[in-house]
Every structure is written in C-alpha cells, then in structure tokens.
Amino acid sequence: MYRKIFILISLVLLILVGCQDKDVVEEESGFSGKRNVKVVTAKIGEINEYLKYSGKVEAVTIANASPSMSGKIEKLFVKEGDSVEVDDLLVKLDQTQLEQTRIQFENAEKNYLRMQKLLESDAIDKQTFDEVETGYNIVKTSYEFMLDNIEMKAPISGIVTYIYKKEGEKFDSMMDPFLIRIVNSNKFKAKLQVSDKDINLLKQGQKAIITVDNTEDKFMGYVSYVSPEAEMMSGTFPIEISINNDSNLLRHNQFARIDLITKSVSNTIVIPQESILRSSYVYVADNGIAKEREVQLGIGNEYEIEILNGIADGEKVIISGNIGLQDGDKIEIKN
C-alpha cells in the first residue's frame, strides 16, 4: 500500500517539475507562437534583364610617345600619375650632339655663303657649288631635325601612366618601344567575346552597365560593335562596348563586370527573387498574418523580378522566414 502511494507521489512530482522546465524554456526562448519573418515593400520601379559578362576596360585614346631621335635623357618634366595637356613639355634630351651639329651647320653655312659669292664672280664652277650646297642642306636638315626633337611634347591630353626610362639613361629610338605613355581617360571601351547562344540577343545601341572593384559607382555604356562572324578558333563573337568615364574612376586595362541589357521595363512592380516560392507564389504580411498569393511574373534577373499581377504597390512581401510558411500563419516582422 505504502509503495503504491510513494510511486504516485513521485509521478506527480515529476509532472510538476516537467511543467516548470517547459515554462522556463518558453520564457527563455521568447516563443510567442508566431513565425519571425523579414519583409520588403513592393514598389513601382524599373527592372532590367541582362546577360552577364566580364572583361577588361581600356582607354580609347592612348599615346606611346617617343623622341624621334636617340639620346641621353637629360630631364624628365613629368612623373607617372601627372595630368598633361597637348604640347606640354615632357622630356629633354642631352644637347651635346645638338651642339656638335650646330657647329657643323654654322661652318657649313659660312662655306655655303662664301661659295655663293665665288659662283657669282665665276671663281668656281657650278658643279663645285652644287656639291657644297648639297652638303650644306644635309647638315641644315640634320640640325633642324635635332633642334625640333631634342625636346618632346605631349601629343594628346591625358594622364601619364608609364615612363619607360629614367633621367640619365639613354633612349634608343630603334630599340626602345616608347618613352612615355599617356592615357586619355574620357572615353573607354570594353572588348568581349560573346557565345553563339547569346549573340542574337545583342545589337548596336543596346545599353550596358559596367561595375568595377575600386568604386561602387555604375558606369553606363552601349554596344558600339557586334561582329558579323565568329572567330575561327574560339567560335565566339567579338563585340565592343563604348563607356563614358566622366568621373575618371575607370583605369586602363582594369577588370570589369558588364551587364548587357536585353530587356528593360519601367513603371512596374518589382520585388526580390527570394520572395518567390514554388515558381509563382509569394507571402505578404497582412496585420500579423501571412497571406499566400499566386502571382504572374514578368522579366527578371538574379536579384529582382517583375510582378505583372498579384501584388500591389506598397504591400509588405515576405523575403525571409517564408520557407514552410502556411497561409494564415501568425507572423512577427523582425527586419
């Protein structure tokens, strides 16, 4: 008899302790019987459907400037990163050779003038004079050439991006590729190789959005060239994108991501892709209750999608916590 009473009391105590533990767990977890969700407001806006490619952007106007003659670099008037205008002085070569040629020219000129007087007085024949005149013209041309090229000026406006030689080093006009590179950063272009499955979606004039890692700015461009034939080796089609770089944030030979816009719709309802469930359903938050909606979809991209029917401007669309949600479930917005 006492054993049965003891067992009964023990069971009652276990039940009471379990109920207290459950109350503690519920109190600690804050469970309210509602599903926590995140929402966004459906808004009227613009959406683009695009092809994603990557490549390098490059300046349209580049000058690899070089002196027309060889010589030791006496003075560099610019450094990498400097901005220059057309005809700004860039470099001056050593004048030793120029000075030697000047002396030769002055001597040749004196001899030439003297021979002119002798020819006028018939003291020399015409053949002798012609030989002197030819030698004079050769020295004169050489001197004028060196005079014009001992200093090199900027052929274009832009930014000095590379200097091939330093002061004191010799520049060889026959062997060195160039001395100073100048890049005009106003206009850029991107060259892409497009697959044959995408080429029919592209044409000249289509817009493109260009992004790079050194800025969050987006650059607008347009398709300026579409090749009518594929390259023999790769089977891809070369295209070019013209890009406006008014902000001067793009850099020559910089890696870029390029979205080629194939479709664009404005004045339409746009919501995030993660709100779409089972191909054509979403949940909206309505006074603490999840309401299931079937929607008609339009164009989309990896981030957003157009809603043609089923969602109104200003409605709260659930984007997180919607997996496993049921129509009529209680929800609590935790953005």
pLDDT at 100: 84
CA distance 190 to 208: 11
| Chain segment 83-95, per-residue pLDDT in tens | 999 999 999 998 8
CA distance 52 to 255: 14
- Positive or negative torsion for Cα 174, 177, 182, 186: positive
> Which residue pairs, CB below 8 angstroms and at least 24 apart, start in 109-112?
109/136, 109/140, 111/136, 112/136
What parts of the chain have a pLDDT lower than 50? 2, 12, 17, 19-31
Entry pTM: 0.66
Q: How many Å from the N-terminal Cα to the C-terminal Cα in the chain? A: 61
pLDDT at 17: 47
pLDDT at 129: 86
| Chain segment 67-81, per-residue pLDDT in tens | 888 889 999 999 999
pLDDT at 33: 78
Scanning the chain, the segments in alpha helix (DSSP H) are 2-29, 96-120, 126-149
pLDDT at 27: 42
Q: In what order do the strands lie in the sheet with 281-286?
A: 289-294, 281-286, 316-320, 35-41, 331-333
